[in-house]
Amino acid sequence: MINMKLLDFWGSFQANEKRMIKILLFLLPLIVIFIYLGDISNKISAKKLNLETAKANFDYVYGKALNFQKYSLAQKALFDYPEKKDFIFSESKRYPLIDFQSGEEEGIMFIAFKSESVVNYAQFLESLVNHPEIEIISLSITPNSEFQQVKAFLQ
């Protein structure tokens, strides 16, 4: 009964109207699918932004924690070795430095060593300046094929 009414109703449309209804029935699901996919894409973008923000926050806190750890290690070494020379030697043992030397030249204290890694001697020099009495006046770096020769004058 309902099928007959639908067939009669469908038959009452002209060819252009039938074509228009078919196009609308075809486009309607496509529009719904595209809206759904767009919404999913927006949600993914928002989650990605949240993830990037969380990563940036984590990196910031992690960096601060590493800085605090370096600072606390330097403070501990400073407490254990209050003399500048003792402090410098204790810090030099924490890093893989080759041929470490300490001395004086024209009344100015210097340290000289070789290192295979820029990171190692940069961290070593950074740990030295945590001592309140140590200041790096000048720094000389001579690169070689296997390592870098570093000489620093301290005050």
**Domain check: are 63 and 108 in the same one?**
no
Nearest Cα neighbor of 143 from 117, 106, 124 is: 117
**Domain check: are 89 and 147 in the same one?**
yes
Q: With a cut of 90, say whether residue 41 has pLDDT above it.
A: yes
**Domain check: are 32 and 65 in the same one?**
yes
pLDDT tens digits along 76-121: 877 887 788 888 888 888 888 888 898 888 888 999 999 888 888 8
Q: How many domains does the chain have?
A: 2
pLDDT at 51: 96
pTM of the model: 0.56
Q: Are strands 98-105 and 136-143 parallel, antiparallel or unpaired?
A: unpaired
φ/ψ (deg, to 5) at 106: 55, 40
* Boundary of a domain, candidates 77, 111, 142: 77
CA distances from 27 to 21, 41, 86, 152 (A): 10, 21, 81, 75
Range of the domain at 25: 2-77
**Domain check: are 146 and 120 in the same one?**
yes
* Boundary of a domain, candidates 21, 44, 77: 77
pLDDT at 62: 96
**Domain check: are 146 and 88 in the same one?**
yes
